[in-house]
Structure 1
Amino acid sequence: MSIDSRLSPLDETRMAPEQRRVLDAILSGPRGNLDGPFLAWIHSPELADHAQRLGAFCRYGTRLDTRLTELAILFTAAWWQSQAEWQIHAPIAREAGVTEAVIEALQEGRDPPFELDNEALVYRLGKTLYTTRRVDEALYAEAVAAFGEPAVVELVGVFGYYALVAMTLNVFEVRRGTGPLPFAEP
């Protein structure tokens, strides 16, 4: 699928050795492509190198079920109205088991009709964190009881990492494909 952005195009014949090294690491890793924010980050290979390793952990290595990770990513994409982040992760979330009703509600900015308590908890944690920039004691205790302290730390990392992804994609107007955008542009 084609990726467009406002960045200057990459010219593989003019890449610095550090860019080439990071590009090779991204292409040989679990993603296998230069999709999403990596199109921007490769312009700063040091940032790309650190971010791609953190991103691989946040997406593939946490203690959370993939369904919950993808829910947190979609919530973040909807919060930031990040076109490419949504375009990339909505199909992955569906495949991981997030229901169409939840995906649709997130895209429309509504509270989703959750059937599973752990999904509702991820949503409440993300919404509280993004809205108030804090999490109160009761919600924190509920999250730790449900997921365990290490997984809550990792979940906050997922929210933070994908906020960075969303900001990158928004600033550099990264778009995936030619179809309609999931969110109205401001």
Structure 2
Amino acid sequence: MTDRLPHFDAAAATPEQKAVLDEILSGPRGNLNGPFLGWIHSPELAQHAQRLGAFCRYQTGLPLRLSELAILVTAARWQAQAEWYIHYPIALQAGVREEDAQALLRGKRPAFTDADDALIYAFASELYDAKRVSDATYAQTVERFGHTVTINLVALLGYYALVAMTLNVFDMRAQGQATLPFAE
């Protein structure tokens, strides 16, 4: 998968590593695709990160379509090959329009037809570009989703930026990935 990390042999895993692997495999993900085989070299980080990730992916209060859209925005901003490869089909299945995803892939602002999609994109883009969110976008997001979900959206964006950084630094690819969505 990568030559930047030592090969991980599950048969030689420490008890801490085995506990993390078991929790990931028995949870809603059910697989180790993504950053987990990188993080497993630091099992305490892996445990905290995978639990945060499970929350951010499945329990933010956002509909799955909007969570996956936020993940695609993040993957495109970081040009995270594996993150895009893994989440693109999930996003389409969750209802993200293919033309919107393709615009993100090309680094363009999609021509959204759904106001919620446009709001998630605006929030994420402002946060990534300006390192802040404008008062107007913040107020719209809180009005539409409430404070708790807005806080969870920030966490989702931060978590998937961590995933993207991990995948990029360690040059990790998704299981079965033969093509790269972003030029290198």
Q: TM-score, normalised by structure 2?
A: 0.96
Secondary structure at the counterpart of residue 171 of structure 2: coil
The partner residue of 2:116 within 115, 118, 121 is: 118
Give, as a single letter, the amino acid of the residue that structure 2 aligns with 1:14: A
1:37 is matched with 35
1:72 is matched with 70
Deviation at 1:146, TM superposition (A): 1.0
Once the two structures are superposed, residues 149-177 of structure 1 have per-residue CA deviations (whole angstroms, 9 ceiling, x without a partner) of 11110111110000000000001111123
> Number of paired residues?
182
The partner residue of 1:56 within 34, 44, 54 is: 54
1:92 is matched with 90
Does 2:170 align with 1:168?
no
The partner residue of 2:16 within 15, 18, 30 is: 18
Aligned mates of 1:31, 1:135 — CA distance in 2? 31
Give, as a single letter, the amino acid of the residue that structure 1 aligns with 2:104: L
Runs of 4+ in 1 over 3 A off after TM superposition: none
2:82–2:173 Cα contact (<8 Å) kept:
yes
1:128 is matched with 126
Once the two structures are superposed, residues 91-136 of structure 1 have per-residue CA deviations (whole angstroms, 9 ceiling, x without a partner) of 0000000001001000000000101000000000000000000112
Larger mean Cα displacement after TM superposition, 131-140 or 84-93:
131-140
> Which segments of 5 or more consecutive residues in structure 2 lack a partner in the other structure?
none
The partner residue of 2:149 within 136, 148, 151 is: 151
Secondary structure at the counterpart of residue 175 of structure 1: coil
Alignment RMSD (CA, Å): 0.9
2:68–2:91 Cα contact (<8 Å) kept:
yes
